[in-house]
A and B are shown apart, each in its own frame.
Chain A
Amino acid sequence: MSLQRRPFFALVLAGLGLLGASSAFADSALDTIAAKRSIAIAIPTDFPPYGFVGTDMAPQGLDVDMARLVAARLGATVELVPVTSANRIAYLQTHKADLVISTLGKNPEREKVIDFTAAYSPFFQAVFAPRAMVLKSPAELAGKTIGVTRGAIEDLELTKIAPAGADIKRFEDNNATVSAFVSGQVQVIATGASVAGNMMARNPQLGAEFKLLLKDSPNFIGVAKGDDKLRLKVNEIIASARASGEIDKLCVKWLGRPAGDLPN
C-alpha cells in the first residue's frame, strides 16, 4: 500500500512546488509588459455592450475598447483573454492576465485578493421581473425562483437581501442566466443593467421591467494584489483619458450616455 501511495504524494508535492515557483516572478507585471511589448487583458465576451462577440467573431464593446486604449498608452500590443464573471479573478491571480477589464465591481471580499484602479465606466445591478409580478421589496422575493450569475456582484448583493424563502438559482455565466429567465426556468432575474436591457430588447414578449435596485457599482480595472507600479500607471492612463474626454466618448458610443461621476 505504501509503495502505491508514494508516487501520488510525490505528485502532490511536485504540484505544490510549482505553485511556489510561480510566485518568484510576481514583482510588477509592468516590467514584463515593457519587455514583451504585449499585455494580456481579460475581457468579457458574454456581456453586451461591455464585451461581446460580433458577427465577425471578434470581441467588441466598451471593455474591449478600453483594453485597447490602455494597451496603446502602455505602448504594447493587446492580447485579449476572454473570461466569464466566475473565473475573471482567478485569471488575474494565476497571472494568466495582467489586467482585468471586465465590468469588475469593487467589494471588500475582492479587495482582499486583488487590487483595483480608479473607476472607468458606470454600471448598476438590479432585479428584473415581468410587469404582472408584484415586487416592491426584497421580502417579496420569498417563494420565487431567482436566476443570477454565480460570483457576480449581483449574486453577492442578492444573497444579502433575499429572504430565507427565496429560491436562488446560480448559473455559470450571463448567457445561462438569461436563457433560464427567457425559457421560464426562473421567474425573476438579478443582473446588470446592460444585460437586462439587451435581454428585454430582444424578448419583448417577456414584458420584463426593472423592480429593485441591488447596487450602484461602477466598473474598475483589476490588477494583481500588491502590483502598485502597474496600478498607478493604469490610474494615470484613466485620469488622462477622463480629462481628454476619451472615456466619455466610449460611454456615449456603447452606453448612450457620458460616464458621469466616477469614484477614484
Chain B
Amino acid sequence: MVQLDFAAVLADWPLLLRGAALTLALTAVAAVLGVGAGIACARARTHGPPAVRALAAAYVELVRNTPFIVQLFFIFFGLPSLGLRLSSEAASVIAMTLNLGAYAAEIVRAGIDATPRGQLEAARSLAMTERQVFLRVVLPPSLGRVWPAMVSQIVIVMLGSAVCGQIAAQELSYSANLIMSRNFRSFEANFVAAGLYLAMAVLLRQALAWAGPRWLFGRAAPTRS
C-alpha cells in the first residue's frame, strides 16, 4: 500500500536548496553575533560591576529557561504591539542570536573560570591592563578549551532554526513542509529534510572545528588546563 515516491519531493529541489541556503545564512549570522554576545556576557558576568553582573545573569537565565519557540513568537508576534515590526528573517536571526548568546555565555564562562591563577598573576606582573589580560591571556585559551562545546551549541541552534518556518521564514523545514502540504508526501519530504540537516550539521561541525583554531584562538593555544 505505502509506496515511496522521492521523485515527487526532489522535483522541488530549488525550493529545498533555497531553504537550506537560508538556514545556513541564518545560522552564520546568528553564530557570529551569538558567540560575540556570549563572550561579552561572560566577561560581564566574571569581571563586571555588580549591576552589570546581575543584568547579564538575568538575560542568561531568562533565555535558558524559556523555550526557543516562545522567544521567537514573542519577537515576531509580540514586539509589533510595542511598535517594533520585524521581518520573518530578522526576527529569526535575532531570536537565534539571543538564544545562542545566552548558552555561549555560560560555555565561555566555564572556559574563563578554568584559567590557571598563575597565568593571571604572570600577566598582571607584566603590567598588562585588565583589558589586555582578558583579550590576550584569558580569552584565547578559554575559547580553545570550550570550542567543542561551543560548536555543538551552534549546531543545536542551526537545528533549532527549523521552528523559524512557523513565522514564515523560508528556511529548510519551511520548504519541506510546503512540499508536504502540496503533494502529501510527508515521509519522503521529512526524510529528505532530515538528510539535508544531517549533512549540513556534519559540514558545519567540521568547518567550525577547522576555523576556530585558525581564526579565533590560535593553533598554539593550549587546549589543556
Contact = CB atoms under 8 A, between A and B. Distances in A.
Interface string A9-23: 000000010011011
Interface size class of B (residues with CB under 8 A): 20 to 34
Interface string B67-90: 000000000111011000100100
Given A150-B178, A169-B88, A171-B166, A93 B186 contact: yes
A180 B169 CA distance: 13
Tell me which of B76, B88, B180, B184 has the highest count of chain A C-beta atoms within 10 A of its own C-beta: B184
B2 A19 contact: yes
A172 B166 contact: yes
Contact of A19 (B88, B167, B187): B187
A72 interface: no
B165 interface: yes
Contacts of A171: 166-168
Contacts of A112: 184
A184 interface: yes
Interface residues of A, number: 29
Interface string A186-222: 0000000000000000000000000000000000000
A20 B1 CA distance: 8
Chain B at the A interface: SS class:
helix
A172 B187 contact: no
Given A176-B166, A179-B77, A185-B80, A155 B181 contact: yes
A109 B166 contact: no
A93 B165 CA distance: 23
Interface in B1-46: 1-2, 4
28 contacts: A16-B4, A19-B4, A19-B187, A86-B180, A86-B181, A89-B184, A90-B180, A90-B186, A93-B186, A150-B178, A151-B177, A151-B182, A170-B178, A171-B166, A172-B165, A172-B166, A176-B77, A179-B77, A180-B77, A180-B167, A180-B168, A183-B77, A183-B78, A183-B81, A183-B85, A185-B76, A185-B80, A185-B85
Interface of A: 16, 19-20, 22-23, 26, 86, 89-90, 93, 109-110, 112-113, 147, 150-151, 155-156, 169-172, 176, 179-180, 183-185
